[in-house]
Structure 1
Amino acid sequence: MAERRAVPPPRAARLHQARKALHRARTKLRKAAVDWFRGGASDWVALGGLLLTVPLLTCATVLTPLWCAPEALVLPIIAGGLLLRPASLLALYAASAVALMIESLLLGPYTGYAEHVDGAGRVTPGTVLVVAAAGLSGLLVAQFRSRVGVPWRRGGTMLFDLRERIRVQSKLPKLPPGWHREMALRPAGGQSFSGDFVVAARTGPQGRTLEVVLTDVSGKGMDAASRALLLSGAFGGLLGSLEPHAFLPAANGYLLRQSWEEGFATSVHLVLDLDSGDYELLSAGHVPAMQLNAGTGVWEEKAAEGPLLGVYDGAEFDPVKGTLRPGDVLMLFTDGLVETAERDLTEGMDRLTGAADRYVACGFHGAAWHLIESVARDVNDDRALLLLCRDP
C-alpha cells in the first residue's frame, strides 16, 4: 500500500501559526525590554555591546589617531559604570587594558616629551591616568547602585513615583458647596521633596466632618523627605481610624517607636464640622493658626497647647475651639513661612496676614501659592500653607 503523503496545512492555518509565533516573539521582546529598564534582567546584552565598541575604538585609534585618541576608551568605561554590574564591569576594564596595550604596541611606545611632541595617538602616562580615573569612578558608581539595589534606569522613575505619592497624599478631599480650600507646598531650595506634608479625610456620618493634619518634620528638603513619606503613610492610616482626640497621642507613640536621631515633628490637627462650621484645633508644638473674622476684618490667632511629637511618652494635647462663619477664613501653615533667622514668629505672622488682606475683597481662589511667593519666596526652608474658606 502506498504511503500517504502528509497534507500540508491550509493557508489559513499557516497564517494563524505565524501570527501566534509573532505574538510570542513580541511578548518576549517587550518583557525583556521592561525587565532591562527596571533592572531585573541580565546585563549581558549591554556588556556584549560595550565589549564590541572596545576593538572598534582601538581600530579607529590605530587608523586615524588624529580623530580618535586613545582616551576615547573612557566612553565605554563611563557607559559601563551606568549600565553594568560590578562583576561585568571588571571584564570591560580588562578588555580596555588589553586595548591600551595593543595601541601602545602599534603606535609606538612613549619615550619622552621631546621626542614625540608632534606625535599623534601615543599612549602616554596621562592617557593611562585618564582611563584609570574613569574606570575607578565607574566602579564606585556601580558598587553604589549594587548596594542600594536600584539600577540607574529605574532610579529616576522611583523618585518620580515617590514625589507623586507625596503629592497625592497631600491632596485635600473635595468639599461640599459653600466651602473652598487652597493648598500650596514649596520645598526648600527648589527641590521636589519636602519635610512638610498634609493628610486629610472626610470622616464621620456621611463624611460631614473634615479632618486635616499638617505636619512639619525636623529637617528640610531631601534630608526630611524620607521621614515625611513614612509619616504621611502612617498618619494617613491613623486619620479617620481613631477618635480625633486620640490621633496625636497615637502619632506621638509612632514617632517614639522609630528611635530616629531627629525623630521629632510638629503637627496641627483640624477637626471641622462642615454643617455648622464648628471646629477643634489640636497642636503638637506647631505654630498657631490664623482665622479671619469676616464681620470685623481682623485676623485672630488660634493657638492650641501641646508638646512636639516624638519627644516623650504620655503627652497630652489640649484643643482650642472655634467656628467658621460665612466669609471666614482659616489659615494653617508651617514655621518656614513665617519664621527665619532675621525675622521672629510674630513679625512673620503679621507679614503673612498683611499679605492675605489683599485677597479679602476678591476672594482667596488661587491665593495660597501667591502668598508663599510674596511672604517667603527665597527662604531656605520647607513652606506649606492651607486655606479653608467658608463662602459668604
Structure 2
Amino acid sequence: MRNYINLNGEWNFELLEELPENVALIQPSKKIKVPSCVESFFPEVTKKQFYIYYSRNFSINRQKGKRYFLIFGAVDYYTTVFLNGQIIGEHEGGYSSFEFEITDFIKEDNHVQIVVFDPVDNSKINFGEIPHGKQNGEPNWYTNITGIWQGVRIEERPLAFLKNVIIKASYLKKKIECSYDVSGEIDNVNLTIKKDEKRVLKKEFAKDEKILAFLENAVAWSPENPQLYDLYLEAKNGSQTDVIHKKIGFRDFQVDNEKLLLNGDDFYMIGVLDQDFYPDTLYTIPSKEYLRSSFLKLKKMGINTLRCHVKVPDPVYMELADEIGFIVWLDAPYFDNFSEYSTKRLEKTILKTLERDISHPSLCIYSIINESWGINLDIQAHRKWLE
C-alpha cells in the first residue's frame, strides 16, 4: 500500500482584501481547521470578496526511488499552491480532486502556502458561468462555500504507478474488468480478490493485457444485502511494487421494457433528496461516524436510495453507501448562464466525478441537469448540448 502524510488539522490562515505580489510577505494572524468551509468560521466571506490564504509546515522522511504528490480532495474555487517559495500548480473548480507532483520541490522540512479565490460576484469573473450547487447563485439557497472543504495529504508512490483505475464487476456475468493508466513502465499486473480476508481469486496479467476475470460464486451486491469484496491491483516494476486497493460489489443495473432492473430483477426505489449540507460544517462531512449514523437511521426508515442533490459528495459518502447499502443517484452541479465556458466547466466536473465514482456498486444514475436549471429547452443550442 502507498504511504501518505495526512495534512488535515490546524493551518495558519488569513483573509486578504488584496493579494501581495510576493506571498512570502503574508503574515497570517488566524487559524482554521482543514478540511472545513471558511464560512463555518468566518461568515463575512459570504458577502465580501477576499483572497483566502492558508499555510503550514510539514516534515517528510524522503526515500530514494520514490515520487511524492500533494493531493487535494476538493477546494472551492481557484487554487494556487506554493511549496518552499515556489509555485507548483494552479487548479480551477470547486468539486474535483487534484494533485501536483512535488518530488523535485520537497526537502526534509517544508512550508506549503495556498491561495484560494472564490468569487462572490461578477467583478472579476462571470459567476453565473461557474458550476455550483445550492450554496451559490440565484437564488442563494444556503450560504456560500469557500476553501479547502475536503482533505489534503501527501502520497508516496514508486517510480511507476497505476492511476485512473476503473472497475466493472457484473453479477449476472460473474465477470470483473479493470482498466487503468500507468505513469512510468511496469512489468506486469496481479489481480487479487478477497472476501472476508480470504483470497477467492488471483491472476497475473502482462502489462498490456486486458484485465478480465470470472468469479463463478460471486455474491450479488444489493441494498438488502450489500456484499463487498476487496480488490487489489499490484503493478510490478523490477523490485518496486504499487498496490491499489478498492472495495467492489458485483451488481448490474439494466433497463428493460422501461423498467430499471437490479441484478436482473425489478425493484422499487424508496428515496430521499439529500442536500448533503450539515448544520455546522456546511459542505464538509462532520465525520465518517456522523455520516454513518445518519445513513443507518435512513436504513431503519426503509430508505434504499439517496439522491445527492447538485453536489459532488465527499468520497466517504460513496464508500458508506456501498457498505451500508444505498443506491446513489447523483445530480451534477449547475450553472446559471449557458455559455461555451459554463458548459465546458460543467462537462469537466461531470467527467471527473464519473472517473472517481463509476466503480462504486451503489452508483446507479447521474443527472446532467436538475429540472432545467441553467438551460432553456426552448433554445435549440441548449437542447443540442444536452444530446
Judge same fold: TM > 0.5, yes or no. no
TM interval, short-chain normalised: under 0.3
Structure number with higher strand proportion = 2
Structure that is richer in helix per residue: 1
TM-score by length of 1: 0.22
TM-score (ref. length: structure 2): 0.23
Q: Which has the larger radius of gyration?
A: 1
